[in-house]
A = this chain, B = another copy of it.
Amino acid sequence: MSDQAQPVINYFKRIIPVDDVDRVMIGNAFKLVHVKKRQFLVQPNFVATHRNFVVRGAFRSYIVAEGGHEHTIAFAIDDWWITDYNSYIFQRPSTMFVVALEDSIVLQIDFEKENMLKAAHHKYETFFRTIAERGLAFYLRRLISNLSHSAEERYREFEKNYPKVVQRVPQYALASYLGMTTEYLSKLRNQRMKKPDG
């Protein structure tokens, strides 16, 4: 059996040592899933059953607010994780969608198998602690950016930090991630803002 879990094993190796026994345990915990564009991994009112590691492809999580406005919460491309953490961690009904933006391949671990890993060995707990801490730090930086920068600054900053995401993601999704309308982002990109003078 070829090791389909290799991509996520490589990811684990960046954080904790992985020996042959671990290789098998991790391989058994994750299952490889092909996801078609526009297919959902999570939907509101259902509990997010899996944490998803993106082997190849692109995803977006978003909520639909009153008035039908969508707000993108996260993107995930190759080598990133995605799920609804509020739903997954507490095993409560989700409030968001997670959808594939391209035909994608993910490695999924479900909540129970993740808990078994965590219980099985100290170092798996270390692994999940580390990615939770990094995720926390990431959302903190994003919150700071949202509070302290203008729409244009947020866009320029994102473009600089995540050029690959900008290229692969539809503009309406990026706009709603950055907290602005599609129209406004379009204007920002095309420099057709009102000019000071003629």
Q: Is the CB of B65 within 8 A of A148?
A: yes
Q: Which residue of the partner chain B has the closest CB to A179?
A: B147
Q: Is the CB of A140 within 8 A of B73?
A: yes
Q: Is the CB of B85 within 8 A of A144?
A: no
Q: Is the CB of B144 within 8 A of A143?
A: no
A85 contact from B65, B136, B176, Cβ within 8 A:
B136
Comparing A29-37, A38-46, A127-135, the segment that makes contact with chain B is A127-135
Chain B residues within an 8 Å CB radius of A179: 146-147
Q: Which residue of the partner chain B has the closest CB to A120?
A: B122
Q: Interface residues of A toward B: which range?
A: 35 or more
Asked, given contacts A129-B118, A132-B133, A133-B89, whether A143 binds B141 with beta carbons under 8 Å apart, the answer is no
* Nearest CB on B from A114, distance (A): 11
* Nearest CB on B from A42, distance (A): 13
A140 contact from B86, B121, B149, Cβ within 8 A:
B86
Q: Is residue A139 within 8 Å, beta carbon to beta carbon, of the partner chain?
A: yes
Q: Is the CB of B63 within 8 A of A141?
A: no
* Nearest CB on B from A187, distance (A): 20
Q: Which residue of the partner chain B has the closest CB to A86?
A: B137
A137 contact from B71, B85, B142, Cβ within 8 A:
B85
Within 8 A of B (CB), among A107-125: 118, 121-122, 125
Chain B residues within an 8 Å CB radius of A142: 143
* Nearest CB on B from A96, distance (A): 8
A-B contact pairs, 17 of them (CB 8 A): A63-B144, A71-B148, A85-B136, A85-B137, A85-B140, A86-B137, A118-B126, A118-B129, A121-B122, A125-B129, A129-B129, A129-B132, A132-B133, A132-B135, A136-B136, A139-B140, A146-B146
Please list the 10 inter-chain residue pairs (A to B) with the smallest Cβ-Cβ separation, ordered nearest first.
A129-B129, A132-B132, A65-B148, A139-B139, A122-B122, A125-B125, A71-B147, A136-B136, A132-B133, A135-B136
